[in-house]
Amino acid sequence: LHIAILASILCLIIYWLIRDSQRVRNLSGKYVFITSCDTGLGNSLAKWLDKRGFCVIAACATEKGSQELQSCSSLSLKTVNLNLADSNSIARAVVFVTEETAGKGLFGLVSNAEGTAPIAPTDWLKIEDFHSVLDVSLLGLIEITLKLLPLLKKAEGRVVNLINAKGLMAFVGGGYRLSKWGMEAFSDTLRIEMQHFGVKVSIVEHGFFKAGVVNSDVIENYLLRIWNRLTPEIRDSYGEKYFVE
């Protein structure tokens, strides 16, 4: 029994030593760029990293989001407007990050894009419904990652892609789950390629958080609008009972 206790203590000590060796030191001067910081996980992470001493650059979609974040953060936290569906907006954000980092490179890029997507059976949807999601949650995130890779390589930084685990369960149509599976594939490929430059790529598959839960009324309203725009042939093929259930 004594040997078992000593072995357990030794294992804990080794674990603590290994864990502490992985901690990032000298946080001052390390720049982290985070997308989608108006609310939710991006907002919470920006505040937390700011308190830890990182130089946080938070991308917000609205002026209101920027002002609210700055009001409860340190003066070192900077915000920039970003519309992931707009290449010009992405280019302006990249210029801002480049100027802020002032030749030091980018220590971290945290990509996070959550939104309310049209959710319905696949043949209820139009191609525009897929574009409205994929242009932001997949193509937009890929575009800004590609444009920031030179800064990440300069600092031998890391890319962290936040992916809601519910998006990996394919039980309903729409672009939301396509975007999550796409980000998984993009991240896995990028991880292999960036090893040569000392850049780490990670995926964080998170679950449900209060800050990111979409009101069920919003989803139902989306579904109702889509149902009402369907052709009579499609509505009749499913039936009112199917829609209600």
Q: Which residues of 10-24 are buried (b: 16+ CB within 10 A; e: fewer)?
A: eeeeeeeeeeeeeee
Which residues, in sequence order, are bridge partners of residue 245? none
Residues annotated as part of the active site: 176
Q: Where are the alpha helices (DSSP H) in the chain?
A: 2-21, 40-52, 63-71, 87-101, 127-137, 139-155, 175-194, 216-229, 232-238, 240-244
CA distance 183 to 202: 11
Q: Where are the alpha helices (DSSP H) in 22-86?
A: 40-52, 63-71
**Contacts of 188-195 spanning 24+ positions with Cβ under 8 A:** 190/145, 190/159, 194/149, 194/152, 194/153, 194/159
